Amino acid sequence: MMSCMYELLAELRLYDSIGFDLDDTLYAQIDYDAEVYSLYFEDRFGPAKGRELAEKIIFKKQYSPKGYTRLFDDFAKDEGISLDVKELVAFYRNPPAFNLRKKLLLAEVILALRNEGKFLFVCTNGHQSTQEHKINTLELRTLIPYIYILSPEGNIPMKPSPVIKSMIPYCGKTVYVGDQDSDNAFARNCGFDFIKINISDYVQK
């Protein structure tokens, strides 16, 4: 873990401005999902059954195709439970407050870069309320003040569109760090360099 962290930091130090994706780049989304689903299912099915259901739905989500729209419906059918899908979606997008600061896997990298005077920003796609909640649980704004959420309900096109570039007060040579091919496309469209990371390399074994 530490060698990967130092290697990434050494690469990022070559740039004046560094941008980051959010999900599965600064933290592992599975950690966020585990908290949200546990809160939801434990409240409705009790602690033991709730934890079991949370683990099962996370597993199902991990191994489902991207964009799979019937995740909750099929999960409820498989488990033989009654599930208000609209309620669960609303809960996921705006759950009760909890704290995941310890799960901010690149915190040391961010702190080092900030202390060296690098310009840092985050640019993420997703529903406004969901991404805001993730940012708050990670206490991310205490480290990176420039955070841009590109939501499907917003007026600014989402990544990989480069429209947001004109709103980022970056200067000098810029690199964008992400985990998806779409992050690479976004960087390319903006004229940024790109570094792809595998979040599992930064998880404490």
Q: For the segment 93-115, what is each residue's pLDDT rounded down to a tens digit?
A: 999 989 999 999 899 999 999 99
Residue 32 clears pLDDT 50, i.e. is over it: yes
pLDDT digits (tens, 9 = 90+) for 133-191: 999 999 999 999 999 999 998 899 999 999 999 999 877 899 999 999 999 999 999 99
Report the candidate in 139, 142, 105 with the shortest Cα–Cα distance to residue 120.
142
pLDDT surpassing 70 at residue 203: no
Does residue 205 have a pLDDT over 50?
Answer: no
- What pTM was computed for the model? 0.90
160: CB partners within 8 A, 6+ apart: 182, 183, 185, 186, 188, 189
Cis status of the peptide bond prior to 160, with omega within 30 of 0: yes
